[in-house]
Chain A
Amino acid sequence: MFLKKIFDYGKQEERVIENIKRHLELLCNACGFFHGAMEKKDKHLAREVVDSEREGDTIRREIISNVYAGAFLPYLRPDLCRFAEIVDRVFDSLQETALNYLEVKLPEHLRDECLRVAFLNTRMCEMLSISFDAMLNGEDLREKALAIRIYEKKIDDLKFSIVKDLRQIPVDDFWQGRILADFVSSLTNISDNIEDAGDQLQIINVSMKS
């Protein structure tokens, strides 16, 4: 592997890499749980997202402590930690969305578009994971980064349309309206954070090669 070639990494580095992979895999699963929760209207699956977020927190702590215990060259450490923190931000926005979903009264005509966003979020996560593997193999991330940006643009377009429809919905109760607005906002925020994580991978990739 590319990293191995450059740093001749040992057990600590291996542990960090494995944990980052686990972190990303867990994120993809959590996105899948949320998509399933919306598709099957299964609130139990939405609660799985909350459990995944907690597990993700633990993995992030492990990554950061392993990195600062001496894994990788010092100049790479802040970037690797930042990547783990951004992935954690994705977990946070996913959890917020899941918690809002448990409370929200989602109008039927908005459901299809929100479901589409949840599906695209899952695809974006997969692409992030593919990008990480590609980086480990020393591949160019240009195509992967572009794919992530394409997904993000698609979600942005959907957000534009959902928000437009949202304004037409009569709200009788303040909290009902607030939760619906928060739900849409957090759901569409997930992709922004995934895009940031993709950008951070690019930074790591470039700094490893320079």
Chain B
Amino acid sequence: MKIDEFMTTKIASIDADLSAYDAIEKMVDRRIRSLLVKFKGKDNDHGVITARDIVFKVLAKGINPTDIKVSSIAARPIVCVNRDVTLTEVSALMEKSHIARVFVCEGEKIIGVVSLLDIMTSSLIMRARGENVP
């Protein structure tokens, strides 16, 4: 199974200049755990901010989320793969890089994102279809 079948295509984003509070609001409102961060300048200059970043780097340290910018806690650059890679290849990449999500890119355009949960759900679907599950 190729990853473009189970990736999430709707990617929510946030400007790097906004505050961590804005990021929290967006994640809670959309029921998601990460946002693509857009930095000013080049179109393909992206980072990623996750719920984990906000909790560990801001809230756990007692920092007011309105006082800190997304740019200062976002991970950068993002890890991209092309749409033809397999579930096994993506899982291996995540394990090697210690990350929980990778972006799927076509040239410089981001077309989707694959998270750990997407990999688990797709492995269940593969089992149900009788395909070989790694």
State whether these chains interact. yes
Residue numbers of A with Cβ under 8 A of B are 112-113, 116, 123, 126-127, 130, 143-144, 146-147, 150-151, 154, 158, 160-161
We find that the number of chain B residues with CB closer than 8 angstroms to chain A is 12
A158 to B7, CA, bound (A): 12
A158 to B32, CA, bound (A): 12
* B10 & A150 in contact (Cβ 8 Å cutoff): no
- Can you give 18 contacting A-B residue pairs, CB < 8 Å? A112-B9, A113-B9, A116-B9, A127-B128, A130-B128, A130-B130, A143-B124, A143-B128, A144-B128, A146-B128, A147-B124, A147-B125, A147-B127, A147-B128, A150-B124, A154-B121, A158-B10, A160-B31
5 more A-B contacts (CB under 8 A) besides A123-B5, A127-B128, A147-B125?
Answer: A116-B9, A147-B124, A147-B127, A150-B121, A160-B31
CB contact between B10 and one of A113, A123, A143, A144 (< 8 Å): that residue: A113
Residue numbers of B with Cβ under 8 A of A are 5, 9-10, 30-31, 121, 124-125, 127-130
Chain B residues with CB under 8 A of A126: 129
Nearest first, the 7 closest Cβ-Cβ pairs linking A and B are A147-B128, A143-B128, A147-B125, A144-B128, A150-B121, A161-B10, A143-B127
How distant is B6 from chain A, measured CB to nearest CB, in Å?
A: 8
How distant is B83 from chain A, measured CB to nearest CB, in Å?
A: 14
* A147 & B9 in contact (Cβ 8 Å cutoff): no
A154 to B120, CA, bound (A): 13
A112 to B10, CA, bound (A): 9
A112 to B110, CA, bound (A): 14
Chain A residues with CB under 8 A of B130: 130
Q: Which residue of B lies closest to A112 (CB)?
A: B9
A127 to B124, CA, bound (A): 12
How distant is B116 from chain A, measured CB to nearest CB, in Å?
A: 15
How distant is B11 from chain A, measured CB to nearest CB, in Å?
A: 10
With contact pairs A147-B124, A150-B121, A150-B124 given, residues A130 and B9 touching in the complex (Cβ less than 8 Å): no
Interface centre among B9, B121, B128 (most CB of A within 10 A): B128
With contact pairs A113-B9, A158-B10 given, residues A127 and B121 touching in the complex (Cβ less than 8 Å): no
Chain B residues with CB under 8 A of A130: 128-130
How distant is B119 from chain A, measured CB to nearest CB, in Å?
A: 12
Q: Which residue of A lies closest to B29 (CB)?
A: A164
